[in-house]
Structure 1
Amino acid sequence: MAKLHVQERISDWVSPPGLSLDQRIHTQAGTLPKPTIWAEPGSVVPSGSSVTLWCRGTTKAQEYCLYTDDMRTCLDRQTPLEPGDSAKFLKRSYTEKYSCAYLSPTGWSERSDPLELVVTGSYSKPSLSALPSPVLTSGGNVTLQCGSGQGFDRFILTKEGEHRLSWSLNSKKITSGKSQALFVLGPLTLNHSGTFRCYGYYNGTPNEWSDPSDPLDLQFSGEEPLTPTF
C-alpha cells in the first residue's frame, strides 16, 4: 500500500513494568517464553462496553495473572482454557495498560508486552471529508480533513479492515476555537479505497477519544459501491 504522508505516527507502547518480588524469585531468565496479550473485539473500546482480554502462554501453564501498569500483584487470576495455552479476562472498566504472566511447573514467566486500551465516546464526534472528492483517481492525491468545533490537540485517522490501520497528527487551531488536521494520501492506488473514520483527543488524556466521525468511503471511479457501514 502506498504510504500515507503524515508528520508522525502513534507512539510505540512503553516497556512493561517489572515483576513482583515473588515472580523474580521463581522465574529463571530465558527458560519460559514471554506470553502475549490482546483484546477482542479490539483495543479501541466504546465507553460502557465490555472487552475480553486474552493471554497466551504455553500448554504447560497452570494459571494466568492479569496486571495493570501500576500493580505489582495480580488484578485477576484465571485457570487456562483447553488446550491450556491461553486464558481470558472479561473487563467492563478499564485502565490504560494491561499485561499478563503465567505460572508453569518451573515458576512464573515474565510479563507480556503491555496492551494499551483506548476508550471512545468521551467527546462529540468530529467531521471527516475528502478533498477534492471521495472518488479517487490513480496516481493522484486526496486530502482527508478531520475537524471539530472542539479544540482537540490531536486527531486519529483509521482505516477499517482485517488489519486496522491508524495514523495520528497534531491539530491546527483555526477560527472560533475549532481544530482540524489534514491527512494527505497519495500517489493513489486501489489499496487506498476503503472506509475511514477519525477521532479527536487532548494531550492530557491520550486514552480518551471522541466518538468516531461518520464513516467516509473512498473508492475509485468505476468501482462497485461499497457496502454501507453503520
Structure 2
Amino acid sequence: MLPTLTALLCLGLSLSPRTHVQAGKLFKPTLWAEPDSVIILGSPVTIWCQGTLDAQGYHLVRERRPIASNMQSTQESRDKAKFFIPYMTVHYAGQYRCYYQNPAGWSEPSEPQELVVTGLYGKPTLSALPSPVVASGGIVTLQCASQLEFDMFILTQEGNHKLSWHFGLHGHPHGQPQALFSVGPMTPGHRWIFRCYGYNSKIPLVWSESSDTLELLVSGAAETTSPSQNQSDIETGKYPQDHTMENLIRVGIAGLILVILGILLFEAQHSQRRHQGTSRR
C-alpha cells in the first residue's frame, strides 16, 4: 500500500501543467502563501494547498505560464502540501490554483492566489496632503509619486486586515507620474500606517520597491464623558467631590473659636489689671 501511495503522491506533485485535470464534485482546496502573497525580490515564500484527509496527491498550476521547474514540492500531511520557492524572482510571479486527488478523482480548483514580486524598480514617495495630522472623522489625501514611468500605483494599509487600493495615473505639474488616494473618515484607536508601490499595467504582478511607511496621526480623539458617567466617577472616587461649602463652614467655626478665645483672653487680662489696682490702694 505504501509504495502505491508514494507513487500517486509523486505523480500528483509532478504532473505537467499541460496535463488535463478534470474538475469533479469534490470540495475545492484552500490555497494561500506564507509569509505573504507580496514578496520582496530574493526572499523565500511557501505556497500551501490544503485538501482532505483522503487526498493522495496535489497539483499546482499557474495561469498562462507553466510552473517553474525548480519549485520544491512536498506533502506535509494527508490533507496538506507545500510548494516552496527559495528565492523569489519575476519568473514566480503569477496567479496560482491547486487541486487534490483522491480515489474519487480530481477536486475542483481552489480560489486563485496571486503571487507578487516587489523591488524590481526604485521606490516611490508617499506623502499626506495637506498634513499627516488629521482631525477625528476627517478625510486625507495620500499622494504616491515616482520619477519612473509607472501607469499604475497601489496603496496598502498595514494592520489586522490588510487593505489595498489600485489607482491609475494622474497628471502632475512637473510631469511626474502620481496617484491620489482619498482615505477616511479617520477614527481614533487605530494605527493608520500606509505604503505604496508603482508598476506597469502590462506586468501587473511585478511592483516597485515599497515606499517608506507613512503613519497618519488622528487629532481631537479625546472621548467625551456623559453627566451620568461623571456622577458615577464621583461616587466611586475617581474624581474628588466638591467640598467648598463644607470647608467654608469649617473655616467659619474656626474663626468663631478664635474670636471667643480672644474675648476670654481680653477679659482675663482686664480682670487681672483691676485686681492689681485694688491691691495698691
Q: What TM-score, normalized by structure 1, do the two folds share? A: 0.78
Alignment check: 8 A CA contact 1:62 1:79 kept:
no
Query: What is the aligned partner in structure 1 of residue 198 from structure 2?
Result: 200
Distance 1:218 1:168 in 2: 20
**How do 1:17-32 residues align onto structure 2 when only pairs under 5 Å count?**
20-21=19-20, 23-24=21-22, 29-30=24-25, 32=26
Does the 8 Å CA contact 2:100/2:107 hold for their aligned counterparts?
A: yes
CA contact (8 A) 1:155 1:200 kept: yes
**Residue 187 (structure 1) shift:** 2.6
Cα pair distance change 1:122/1:77, threshold 3 Å: closer
SS of the residue corresponding to residue 75 of structure 2 reads coil
Give me the whole-angstrom Cα distance separating, in 2, the residues matched to 1:103 and 1:73: 19
Structure with the largest fraction of helix: 2
What is residue 105 of structure 2 aligned with on the other side? 107
Corresponding position of 2:229: none
Correspondence for 2:75 among 80, 92, 97: 80
Say what the alpha-carbon RMSD is for the aligned residues: 2.5
Q: 1:134 maps to what in 2?
A: 132
Q: Give the superposition deviation at 1:136.
A: 2.1
User: Displacement, 1:175?
Assistant: 4.4
**CA separation in 2, counterparts of 1:140 and 1:111?**
43
Shift in Å, 1:190: 2.6
**1:165-176, aligned counterparts within 5 Å?**
165-176=163-174
Q: Is the 8 A contact 1:128 1:216 kept in 2?
A: yes
Report what 1:37 is aligned to.
31
Give the residue type in structure 2 aligned to 1:214: D
Which residue matches 1:70? 64
Quick one: percent identity of the two aligned structures?
50
Higher strand share: 1
CA distance in 2, matches of 1:159, 1:127: 15
For residues 18 and 188 of structure 2, the distance between their equivalents in structure 1, rounded to whole angstroms, comes to 47
Q: CA deviation at 1:110?
A: 2.3
Aligned-pair CA distance for 1:104? 0.8
Equivalent residue number for residue 228 of structure 1: none
8 A Cα contact 1:63 1:79, kept in partner: no
**Structure with bigger RCO (C-alpha 8 Å, 6+ apart):** 1
Segments of 5+ residues of structure 2 without an aligned counterpart are: 1-16, 222-281
Structural mapping, 1:188-227, within 5 Å: 188-190=186-188, 193-221=191-219
Larger radius of gyration: 2
